[in-house]
């Protein structure tokens, strides 16, 4: 059975719209280069912003932009009291350090929750902004009454925006977490052992039917595009058909991720 995130998104959007009436918010997105998945995500953010009444500004740089140029822009945004949150769209061109740029953002304006300070609060289980995609995964599970406590959770992908934070958040929910990556031996054994399988590698149809059981719950975080512009997840459709429950792509984790980003913006607006 496929599950979707539209109803959850609409409920969050309604809450954001109500708050915006009395507490205007503004988010600035910094984009360097043009990545198709990034463009799709930004379009989703812009659409949500228009529908909820939140101001969003996009600052676009060509791919060859220097790190110092981006840092100078971030510093100006940090000092602007009219800006509630700042987001650095990834992936970045290879010559730029994601870690350095993210940690240049004022942690009180880090709308993605991936500044080292905010990740530290996440690890120590303090209140704060939580990375939006991992939070979207947990929200989708909970809204569909899928238990995490005591479940064997296998996460494939250890990025700083998804896999890494999600492993911490799933542990906080009392899941038993296995974090897999490109150096994991016998990956198929790990996926077959999962009660909940989270695919976050960024590789189209990487998870095939032989890698999953009929009792597994699949959370497909993948956003991949072919030459026609069609979107695909990291999990093959036949694997999803075999599973007990699987998130749709498109229409699943992605639409909630955008909503959770605005939830973070709301948290920042209340904190500052």
> DSSP 3-state assignment of 97?
coil
CA–centroid distance for 229 within its chain: 21
Specify the DSSP class assigned to residue 93: P
Domains in the chain, start-ordered, CATH in brackets? 23-108 (3.40.50.10860), 132-254 (3.40.50.720)
Per-residue pLDDT of the chain (272 residues; tens, 9 = 90+): 999 999 999 999 999 999 888 888 999 999 999 877 778 889 989 999 999 999 999 999 999 999 999 999 999 999 999 999 999 998 899 999 999 999 999 999 999 999 999 999 999 999 899 999 999 999 999 999 999 999 999 999 998 889 999 999 999 999 999 999 989 999 999 999 999 999 999 899 999 999 999 999 999 999 888 888 788 999 999 999 999 999 999 999 999 999 999 999 999 998 76
What is the distance between the alpha carbons of residues 53 and 210, in angstroms, rounded to a whole number? Answer: 45
What is the torsional sign of CA 123, 82, 37, 93?
negative
The residue count for the chain: 272
In this predicted structure, what is the pLDDT of residue 139? Answer: 97
* pTM for this predicted structure: 0.91
In this predicted structure, what is the pLDDT of residue 60? Answer: 94
In this predicted structure, what is the pLDDT of residue 34? Answer: 81
Measured between alpha carbons, how far is residue 254 from residues 44, 84, 117, 169 in Å? 9, 23, 25, 18
What is the distance between the alpha carbons of residues 131 and 102, in angstroms, rounded to a whole number? Answer: 13
In this predicted structure, what is the pLDDT of residue 223? Answer: 85
In this predicted structure, what is the pLDDT of residue 185? Answer: 94
What is the distance between the alpha carbons of residues 233 and 120, in angstroms, rounded to a whole number? Answer: 30
């Amino acid at each position: 059975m496929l599950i979707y995130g539209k109803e959850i998104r609409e409920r969050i959007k309604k809450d954001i719209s109500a708050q915006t009436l009395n507490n205007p918010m503004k988010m600035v997105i910094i984009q360097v280069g043009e990545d198709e998945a990034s463009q799709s995500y930004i379009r989703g953010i812009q659409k949500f912003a228009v529908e909820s009444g939140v101001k969003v500004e996009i600052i676009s740089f060509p791919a060859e932009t220097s790190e110092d140029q981006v840092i100078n822009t971030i510093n100006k945004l940090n000092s602007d009291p009219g800006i509630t949150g700042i987001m650095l769209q990834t992936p970045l061109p290879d010559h730029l350090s994601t870690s350095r740029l993210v940690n240049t953002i004022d942690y009180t304006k880090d709308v993605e929750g991936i500044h080292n300070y905010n990740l530290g609060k996440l690890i120590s289980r303090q209140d704060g902004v939580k990375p939006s995609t991992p939070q979207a995964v947990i929200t989708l599970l909970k809204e569909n009454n899928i238990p995490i406590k005591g479940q064997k959770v296998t996460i494939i992908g250890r990025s700083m925006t998804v896999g890494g934070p999600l492993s911490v958040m799933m542990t906080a929910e009392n899941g038993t977490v296995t974090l897999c990556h490109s150096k994991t031996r016998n990956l198929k054994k790990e996926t077959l052992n999962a009660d909940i399988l989270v695919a976050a590698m960024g590789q189209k149809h990487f998870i095939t039917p032989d890698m999953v059981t009929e009792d597994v719950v699949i959370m497909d975080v993948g956003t991949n595009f072919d030459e026609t512009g069609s979107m695909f997840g990291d999990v093959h459709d036949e694997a999803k058909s075999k599973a007990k429950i699987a998130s749709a792509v498109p229409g699943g984790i992605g639409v909630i991720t955008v909503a959770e980003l605005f939830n973070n913006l709301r948290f920042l607006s209340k904190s500052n």
